[in-house]
């Protein structure tokens, strides 16, 4: 009888262990919850940044309406003689609604001291430019600049090589802000 009871208890224990992982597999892990929280925050910053851009630059809204997609990045740059920074963002296809979460990084040497927080907005004129940006990444060359919202800047802001780029800081839109040396790539951890 003891052997029978022991055998039943072992079977019950194995059954509980076997069922428990199946139930737990349906529940998100803490890492998955953390990643989802990051995606939500990135989406909120992107939406707020777009609304701020449109409120300050009618031409940007017009370009957005013609764009096939867009991307917004939130960056913090620190400079103490040598500068470096990084951030996260999202690129979105307006046709499919698909989102690609990305990272950005920047570095350089020059005169500077302090911390600068800013957002970069990309508007994509065509599907190929958006696809290449997401799949291959993008690096701003030495002449890359972001445009802004003064009357003179609005007149010349348009798509260049399939892109329109804007930089917003705490002080508002930057006119011809230097974004050279900045690289953008997919964030594998946040994309499913």
Closest CA to 99 of 46, 162, 168: 46
Q: How many residues make up the chain in this entry? A: 192
Assigned token pair, 32: 């998955």
Neighbours of 64 (CB within 10 A): 19
Q: What is the pLDDT of residue 111?
A: 59
How many alpha carbons fall within 13 Å on the CB side of residue 171? 5
- Quote the pLDDT of residue 158: 84
Gap between the Cα atoms of 166 and 63, Å rounded: 11
pTM greater than the 0.95 cutoff:
no
The tens digit of pLDDT for each residue in 76-87 reads 887 776 778 899
Residue 106 in contact with residue 86, Cβ under 8 Å? yes
- Hey, how many other C-beta atoms are within 10 angstroms of the C-beta on 114? 9
Q: What is the pLDDT of residue 153?
A: 41
pLDDT given at position 46:
98
Question: Do 163 and 104 form a contact (C-beta atoms < 8 A)?
Answer: no
DSSP structure class, residue 147: B
Mean pLDDT for the stretch of residues 2-27: 52
């Amino acid at each position: 009888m003891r052997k029978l009871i022991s055998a039943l208890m072992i079977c019950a224990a194995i059954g509980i262990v076997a069922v428990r992982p199946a139930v737990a597999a349906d529940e998100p892990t803490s890492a998955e919850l953390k990643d989802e929280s990051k995606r939500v925050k990135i989406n909120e910053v992107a939406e707020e940044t777009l609304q701020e851009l449109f409120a300050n630059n009618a031409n940007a809204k017009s370009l957005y309406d013609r764009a096939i997609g867009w991307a917004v990045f939130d960056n913090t740059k620190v400079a103490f003689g040598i500068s470096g920074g990084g951030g996260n963002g999202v690129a979105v296809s307006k046709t499919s609604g698909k989102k690609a979460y990305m990272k950005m990084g920047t570095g350089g040497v020059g005169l500077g001291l302090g911390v600068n927080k800013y957002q970069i907005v990309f508007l994509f004129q065509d599907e190929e430019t958006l696809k290449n940006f997401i799949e291959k990444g993008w690096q701003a060359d030495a002449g890359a600049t972001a445009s802004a919202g003064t009357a003179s800047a609005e007149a010349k802001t348009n798509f260049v090589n399939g892109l329109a780029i804007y930089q917003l800081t705490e002080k508002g839109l930057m006119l011809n802000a230097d974004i050279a040396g900045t690289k953008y790539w997919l964030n594998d951890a946040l994309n499913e």
